Chain A
């Protein structure tokens, strides 16, 4: 039932056998240890909302009023970046993209004095075809992540001409050229059409590679430096690719990508709707979810970007970024009166890292109570990449009411598990949640549940733990957690979950990650420069 990362042991065995085979001959084993890459089929991910927004703001300035609604992102395997490759733009989505393009273009052109900055020519020439050609040539590469073809450019110029005629202004001309650029599928989708060099099989072309790098490492569009390496083709050179990836993770925009990944991996987008019964949880307020989301994003970005820390620290660190609202829940002094300040959680306390945050404890609970089951399921699925079976349809899934023999939630869940049809799944799902029962449904510390003392001991995949701090350490040090980070980042980068043909790449990246101190920044450079990032299979024609 526990579909663990099943290929791991197989791959390890295979690697072992190969090592034995080649080691005797004294050959370099590092390249042959890993199963040969069978590239995945090309994907066509739609830009996520944040990628769309960053594309527009990077190119036209961040003082634009952004569309209130855009086609929502969809998660697949827990990641929006993977959902983007399967989600189909809805009929309402088309209306929304059209409204957004018109609103943004009107704002871009409508700013006083802005037209001159936008135009690649002098104002008196603004109405000419030459100028509109140049406009498309300037903006298409950043918006579409490649230059427009002549046909595409001419289509846009024709629309611009028509707008010029209809409204009689150069501004309308530029505005409609932008509307067309912004609404195009060439902006909305990242392609993997690729080229075949005849030696290694199909691979992304230089512009596709640049676009993929930018969306992965910046959550936004390529800049002119990166585009230049695509234009002259040098990005296809391993050393140039490496240098670009390293430049990009050192850039301020890298933080955006890290926040995007944290949002997706840790399911932080659900926090916007966080709701608790304030009669049960006195510390709840309507904006708590927003605070909790920001706290989790700040911690993750701090560890990865500022500290270049071991990813284990996400679960074990005593560093926290809290506002007054969160400080009150954690029962610690806030560092600042307004906004978020950095604090160190008490050394003797039970709260540490992400699993001690409202963003986890509150999100995976009921509106009136904690839930060891919801917390356990999240740890299994998101942090360990294990599959939690679907709940049964036709069973009564109620857990027993509190009784004299089962007062705490843990005792009730254990009683529930005495039913064999419940035991199968719940003995797998619930125990990691037992370790966090010292935190109530909003994340406040408690020593008792229903007036009975809490026993926060449990077992995780054969290893016993006693209390949350032991659980954090157990998870943080586990191979499954480390490997899950690799798998999730791989999915985030590539827009699909690694398939069997890519297990060798996952093994290679995981070994690197383990040897390198589990640092996410270096792993992301490694993912971006791994052959699996640019190689694709021929599209499935069916």
Chain B
């Protein structure tokens, strides 16, 4: 399949203008090859300002599971590129993708371990210390997916996608502002591929509601602005965040009106079942994760969004995994000895990460795959769950983000470099230009040169 824009931006906009004021109408638009190079592989248009070298947009994926790993069985053997390293026991399921991976070990979070699990979650995902408010905790700033979405999510129908398998997500816009996860694959399907979605090559329907929705959002943001002038500082900030999100949606609707995405790799995925019931009290995690991965892959391939996070489980999750005799979190603390059950659960998590990556790698885009044009961060909030350790943080990176990151690499940090450096490198690879990443002990100014290309 090819990267294959079909819709000319200019004429479409003109058409729309002409149509607004009349009833809903359908307009057939001819395919347009003019923006492709001679091989039909390189997009020459302006649509993807954040695109990589071969013109495909850069995207970001996050795959998170809770309660950590067993570091001794996680760390790969050997260091460096290619044949210099081999996957460990816990990473073995990723063998088929080894040439597209970087595993980073030996880094540590620079933030204090103030609250078990949540400090680690805030640390690895935002680079900041957890904020404790009485009995409750929140992040001190946006999580990595939302940092990426600030840049990558400016033009797509959805700014970002938060998919929950069994986890309630930790996607934060800022303090006390958490994006909800969608746990029903069918609901995700309806949202992405139901009303409002047009397949490439299908006759697009000009929809006057887009302009009206923008007008409503404009009025709504005026209401928010008025309120802002009447409340205290903290509430001003809350309304400001609300206001910014309204503006962002408004801009994205304008972009859709002008330039709807239309990509060759885009195809309608299979409609998921409405339910995936537990079997013997154990959720069908692998199946549900794989179904979500298919939806995520097509959401990206159809350019409905460029930022996806998939929350397999969450910190302190006590979910019953297949074959486990107790909840995951309880096992990490109470299972004696070498913790064979915890090990088996970690391997299951890595298998689900593999299936997530394979779904992305299956999508051909030009000479490469969707996975090549993005980077996926696979991680958990602690290393050894038993002690809530924030050293030896587990990090798997997949995809090179259009050649910006190394692959087939095991980078072992000597002296425990700050884990935030890895995330800084990811923001760079995705085209962000941040002066720093994180805050307090988690703040860094530089990435990890060794993993960048």
Contact = CB atoms under 8 A, between A and B. Distances in A.
Interface string B253-282: 000000000000000000000000110110
B173 interface: yes
A43 B231 CA distance: 8
Interface in B98-131: 113-116, 119
Given A42-B235, A92-B160, A540-B233, 11 more contacts: A44-B231, A44-B239, A77-B136, A87-B177, A91-B149, A91-B159, A91-B160, A101-B216, A185-B224, A393-B116, A540-B232
Interface stretch (A26-34, A274-282, A477-485): A274-282
30 contacts: A42-B231, A42-B235, A43-B235, A76-B133, A76-B136, A89-B241, A89-B245, A91-B160, A92-B160, A94-B246, A94-B249, A155-B219, A165-B21, A176-B216, A179-B216, A184-B223, A185-B242, A186-B227, A191-B230, A276-B281, A366-B326, A367-B319, A367-B327, A368-B327, A390-B115, A394-B113, A396-B333, A398-B333, A539-B231, A539-B232
Nearest to B329: A366
B228 to A, nearest CB: 9
Contacts of B222: 155
B306 interface: no
Interface stretch (A67-75, A245-253, A347-355, A446-454): A67-75
A331 B334 CA distance: 32
Interface stretch (A156-164, A333-341, A462-470): A156-164
Contacts of A277: 280-281, 320, 326
A110 interface: no
Contacts of B281: 275-279, 284, 367
A286 B231 contact: no
B175 interface: yes
B88 interface: no
A393 B114 contact: yes
Interface string A143-162: 00000000010011011001
B388 A393 contact: yes
A186 B227 CA distance: 8
B234 A367 contact: no
Contacts of A394: 113, 387-389
Interface stretch (B79-87, B179-187, B296-304, B411-419): B179-187
B36 to A, nearest CB: 32
B61 to A, nearest CB: 17
Interface stretch (B26-34, B65-73, B207-215, B346-354): B207-215
Contacts of B173: 88, 90-91
Contacts of A397: 333
Question: Main SS of the interface on chain B?
Answer: mixed
A159 B182 CA distance: 31
Nearest to A102: B213
Contacts of B219: 155-156, 159, 180, 184
A286 B278 contact: yes
Contacts of B278: 275, 286
Nearest to B137: A390
A369 interface: yes
Interface string B150-177: 0000000011101000000001011111
Interface string B315-344: 000111000011100100110100000000
Contacts, number: 217
A401 B220 CA distance: 58
Given A76-B134, A166-B212, A186 B180 contact: no
B183 to A, nearest CB: 10
Contacts of A193: 230-231
A167 B23 contact: yes
B115 A166 contact: no
Nearest to A152: B223
Given A98-B217, A102-B213, A166 B135 contact: no
A78 interface: yes
B326 A368 contact: yes
B22 to A, nearest CB: 8
- Residue in A90, A95, A184 with the greatest tally of chain B CB atoms within 10 Å: A90
A159 B320 CA distance: 51
A83 B177 CA distance: 11
A364 to B, nearest CB: 12
A391 interface: yes
Contacts of B175: 88
B12 interface: no
A382 to B, nearest CB: 10
A111 to B, nearest CB: 19
Contact of A168 (B23, B113, B241): B23
Contacts of B162: 92
Contacts of B318: 366-367
B14 to A, nearest CB: 17
Contacts of A381: 135
B212 to A, nearest CB: 5
A243 interface: no
Contacts of B135: 76-78, 381, 387
Contacts of A176: 212, 216
Contacts of A540: 232-234
Contacts of B177: 87-90
Contacts of B23: 167-168
A391 B115 CA distance: 7
Closest 7 CB pairs of A and B: A88-B177, A539-B232, A542-B233, A393-B113, A94-B245, A92-B179, A44-B235
A64 interface: no
B208 A91 contact: no
Nearest to B247: A94
Contacts of B230: 191, 193, 539
A159 B216 contact: yes
- Residue in A69, A77, A158, A395 with the greatest tally of chain B CB atoms within 10 Å: A69
B327 A366 contact: yes
Contact of B136 (A41, A75, A94): A75
B308 to A, nearest CB: 13
Nearest to A183: B220
Contacts of A309: none
A189 interface: yes
A80 B62 CA distance: 29
B185 to A, nearest CB: 13
A22 interface: no
A286 B136 contact: no
A392 interface: yes
A498 interface: no
Contacts of A158: 215
A152 B389 CA distance: 54
A90 B217 contact: no
Interface in A402-447: none
Interface in A483-520: 497
Contacts of A367: 281, 318-320, 326-327, 330
A83 B334 CA distance: 33
A88 B242 contact: yes
A180 B220 CA distance: 7
Contacts of B115: 390, 393
Contacts of B212: 159, 162-163, 166, 176
A101 B180 CA distance: 18
A399 interface: yes
Contacts of A398: 333-334, 336, 386
A401 B230 CA distance: 58
B2 interface: no
Contacts of A74: 176, 178
A163 B213 CA distance: 10
Contacts of B386: 396, 398
